[in-house]
Structure 1
Amino acid sequence: MRATKTTTLKTFNDFSKIIFIQGEILGLITFSRTKSGLTPSKIKYLGNIFRGLAFTSFTCYFLFRLTSSPYIPLFSKCTPIICYGYSIFYINLVLILSASNSRKFIEFILNVAEFDANFSSEKILQYLTNRRKIQRYWLSKYVFLSVFFVLFNTADNVNFFTISSSCMGSFLSIVTFIICQVTTELVLHLHFRFVFLNSRLMTIVRYFSNHDLNSIMKEKDTKRMFFIFSEICTWHHHLSKLIRLFNEIFGVPLLFAFGYTFLVSAVSFFYIAGEFQKSEIDWVAPVFLLVVVLLYLLDTTRLCDACYRTVEEITMTGDLIHKIRTQDLDIIDGIEMFALQIANERAEFTAAGFFPINYTLLFSLIGGVTTYIIILLQLAATLR
C-alpha cells in the first residue's frame, strides 16, 4: 500500500508539475518536491520575504513618483493609488499565507494521493489527457499576456508610469491567474473523485433495481454491495474533509484575489466608459482594458464553475443513496448514516467564509462592478 501511494504521489506530481513550477517561481508554493516526498522549504520562505519586500519597495516608489508628478491630474491619480495600494496588501498577504499554509497544502496533496492509491486499479484520472488541457490553457493565457504587454509598451506615449504600470499589472495578473488556476485544478481533482464515487454508487443502485425486493439474492452479492457502499461512505467523508482543508488553505487568498478582480474590472470599465464619451475614440486602450477584464473574469468563471459542479456532485450522492431499493438492514442503516453525514458536513467552497464560490459570486461581481461604474461616472461628472 505504501509503495502504491508513493507511485501515485509521483504520478500526481508529474501531472501537476506545470502548476507547481509556476507557483514556486512566484512564491505561491513553498514546499519542495523530492524523491522522498513533499517537505516545507525554509529557503522558499526566505524567498517569499524577499519577493514581498521587492514588490512593496517598487510599488511604493511608483506611487511616490505618481503622487509627486505635477503633470497628472488629481482624479487620474486616485485609481492607481487605490489599485496599487490594495495590491501591496494583497501580494504580501498571499506570500505570507503561502508560507504558513505549506504543511496544510502538503497534507491536502497526500490525502488526494491516498485516495488514488486506494483505487489505483480503477484509473480515476486520465492524467496525460488532463495535463495536455492544462498546458494548452496556460500557453494561450501567456501568449495573450505577452502580446498585449508588447503592444501596450510600444505605443507613442510610453514613459516611466506606463511601463511601470504595465509591469506591475502583468505581475498581478499572473499572480491572480495562478491562484485561480491552481485552486481550479485542485477543485477539479476533488470533482473527478466525487464523480468516481457516484459512478460506483450507481452500480449499487442498478444492482438492486435489477433484483426484485421479494427475490432471494445471494448473501455473498449482498455483502459485496454492502462492502462497496461502506467504502464509498468512508471515502466520501475523506473528500469532504479535503474541502474544509481547501477552504482553510485558499479561503483568504481567494477572497483578496476576487477583491482585486472586482477592483480591476470596475476601474477598467470606468475608463472604457470615459473613453466612449470622447468625440474621437482611441480604440487601443478600450480594447486592451476589455481583454484584461475578460481574462480576469474567465479565471473567476472557471473556478466558480468547478466549485459549483463539485457541490452539485455531492448533492447527487444524496439523491443516489435514496434510490437504493433494498430490504437488507445493514444497508438501510448505512443509507441513514450516509444521509446524516452529508447533511452535517454541508460541503461548500467559500472565500474565508464570507461568501460561497459559485455562480452567485460571478453575478454579484458583475452587479457590483456595474453599480460602481455608475457611481464613478457620476463622481467624474461632478468634478469637471
Structure 2
Amino acid sequence: MPVNITENGEDPPESNCNSTYSESITNDDSANTRHESFKENIYLLRTVYNNIGKIIKLVNSAYGAVVLFCTMTAFFTAVFSISLAFSVLGSQSTYFDEINSIVVYLSISWACLYISQTVAIVYSCSATVTAARMTGVLVQDLLLKPGVDKEEQQELKEFLDQVHNTDVAFTGAGFFTMNLALLPSMAGSVTSYILVLLQLTSPEKTH
C-alpha cells in the first residue's frame, strides 16, 4: 500500500490533526474523571457531616437530662461545700479542731471533684463542636483556591450551606449550651451564692 510521506520525511498534516484530536479527547476524559471524583468526595463528606448532626441530636436527646443533672449537682455541691468550708474556717470555736479541719478538707475535695467533672464535660463538648465547625472554614478555603471551576464551586457552596444550616451544639436538656462560656457564668453564680450564704449564716455582731 502507498505511504504518504512529505519531502522532509515528516508525517502529513492529517496525522498531526489526528494526534491533536486524540489528545483533546484524553484531556476531556481526565477532566470528566476529575469532576466525578470531586463530586463523589464532596458527597461523601456531606454524608459524614449529616451523620455527625444526627449523632449530636441523638446524644442531646439521650443524655441531655443527664448532663443537666450533673451540671446542677456540681453547681449546688460547689456552693454548699465551699460555703461550709468558709463557715468552719470563720468560726471562732476552738473545740473539735481536728473535726473542723477534716470537714474543711472534705468540703473542698468534694467541690473540686464536681467542678473538675463539669469542666471535663464542658471542654469535651466544646472541643467536639469546634472541630465540627472547622469544616466550614476548610470549605471556604477550598472556594478561594485557584483552579476550582464553576461546577466544583457550586458543590462546595451547597456543602457550605449544609454546614451553616446544621445545628452542632450540645445542650443540657435545652436549658443551656455546653460551651466554654458556661464556665465563667457558673463561676460567677457560685461566687454570688456563696457570698449570700455566708452573709445569712454569719453570726450577728453584738455591740
- The answer as to whether partners of 2:75 and 2:190 remain within 8 angstroms in 1 is yes
Partner of residue 109 from structure 2, selected from 283, 288, 291: 291
What is residue 174 of structure 2 aligned with on the other side?
353
What is residue 7 of structure 2 aligned with on the other side?
none
Where 2:175 maps in the other structure, the secondary structure is coil
Which whole-Å CA distance do the structure 2 matches of 1:378 and 1:319 have between them? 50
Which whole-Å CA distance do the structure 2 matches of 1:351 and 1:275 have between them? 34
Partner of residue 373 from structure 1, selected from 172, 194, 197: 194
Q: Deviations over 1:26-67 (max 9, x none)?
A: xxxxxxxxxxxxxxxxxxxxxxxxxxxxxxxxxxxxxxxxxx
Is residue 247 from structure 1 mapped to residue 60 from structure 2 by the alignment?
A: yes
Which whole-Å CA distance do the structure 1 matches of 2:151 and 2:44 have between them? 14
- The answer as to whether partners of 1:226 and 1:330 remain within 8 angstroms in 2 is no
TM-superposed CA distance for 1:383, in Å, is 6.8
How is 1:319-358 mapped onto 2 (pairs within 5 angstroms)? 319-324=137-142, 325=145, 326-358=147-179
TM-superposed CA distance for 1:352, in Å, is 1.4
The structure number with the bigger radius of gyration is 2
Amino acid paired to 1:287: Y
TM-superposed CA distance for 1:278, in Å, is 2.6
Where 2:170 maps in the other structure, the secondary structure is coil
Is residue 315 from structure 1 mapped to residue 133 from structure 2 by the alignment?
A: yes
Q: Deviations over 1:264-316 (max 9, x none)?
A: 11000010111111344532211111111111111111111111111111221
TM-superposed CA distance for 1:217, in Å, is 10
What is residue 300 of structure 1 aligned with on the other side?
118
- Which 5+ residue runs of structure 1 have no aligned equivalent? 1-215
Amino acid paired to 1:253: V
Which whole-Å CA distance do the structure 1 matches of 2:74 and 2:127 have between them? 22
- What fraction of aligned residue pairs are identical, expressed as a percent? 25
Which whole-Å CA distance do the structure 1 matches of 2:196 and 2:190 have between them? 10
Which whole-Å CA distance do the structure 1 matches of 2:165 and 2:41 have between them? 22
Q: Measured at CA, do residues 217 and 374 of structure 1 come closer, stay the same or move farther in structure 2, by a change above 3 Å?
A: farther
How is 1:74-89 mapped onto 2 (pairs within 5 angstroms)? none
Q: Deviations over 1:234-272 (max 9, x none)?
A: 110111111111111111221122111111110000101
Where 2:82 maps in the other structure, the secondary structure is helix
Give the paired residue count: 170
TM-superposed CA distance for 1:330, in Å, is 3.0
Which whole-Å CA distance do the structure 1 matches of 2:150 and 2:48 have between them? 22
What is residue 72 of structure 1 aligned with on the other side?
none
How is 1:84-95 mapped onto 2 (pairs within 5 angstroms)? none
Where 1:354 maps in the other structure, the secondary structure is coil
Which whole-Å CA distance do the structure 2 matches of 1:222 and 1:311 have between them? 31
Q: Measured at CA, do residues 382 and 287 of structure 1 come closer, stay the same or move farther in structure 2, by a change above 3 Å?
A: closer
Which whole-Å CA distance do the structure 1 matches of 2:124 and 2:66 have between them? 17
RMSD over equivalenced CA pairs, Å: 2.2
Which whole-Å CA distance do the structure 2 matches of 1:298 and 1:272 have between them? 18
Which structure is higher in RCO with an 8 Å CA cutoff and minimum separation 6? 2
- Which 5+ residue runs of structure 2 have no aligned equivalent? 1-27
TM-superposed CA distance for 1:221, in Å, is 3.5
How is 1:47-86 mapped onto 2 (pairs within 5 angstroms)? none
TM-superposed CA distance for 1:346, in Å, is 2.4
What is residue 19 of structure 2 aligned with on the other side?
none
How is 1:1-384 mapped onto 2 (pairs within 5 angstroms)? 218-219=30-31, 220-279=33-92, 280=94, 282-324=100-142, 325=145, 326-381=147-202
Where 1:323 maps in the other structure, the secondary structure is helix
- The answer as to whether partners of 1:301 and 1:362 remain within 8 angstroms in 2 is yes
TM norm structure 1:
0.42
Q: Measured at CA, do residues 368 and 217 of structure 1 come closer, stay the same or move farther in structure 2, by a change above 3 Å?
A: farther
TM-superposed CA distance for 1:382, in Å, is 5.8
Where 1:372 maps in the other structure, the secondary structure is helix
- The answer as to whether partners of 1:251 and 1:353 remain within 8 angstroms in 2 is yes
Amino acid paired to 2:189: G
Amino acid paired to 1:313: A
Where 2:181 maps in the other structure, the secondary structure is helix
Q: Measured at CA, do residues 382 and 283 of structure 1 come closer, stay the same or move farther in structure 2, by a change above 3 Å?
A: closer
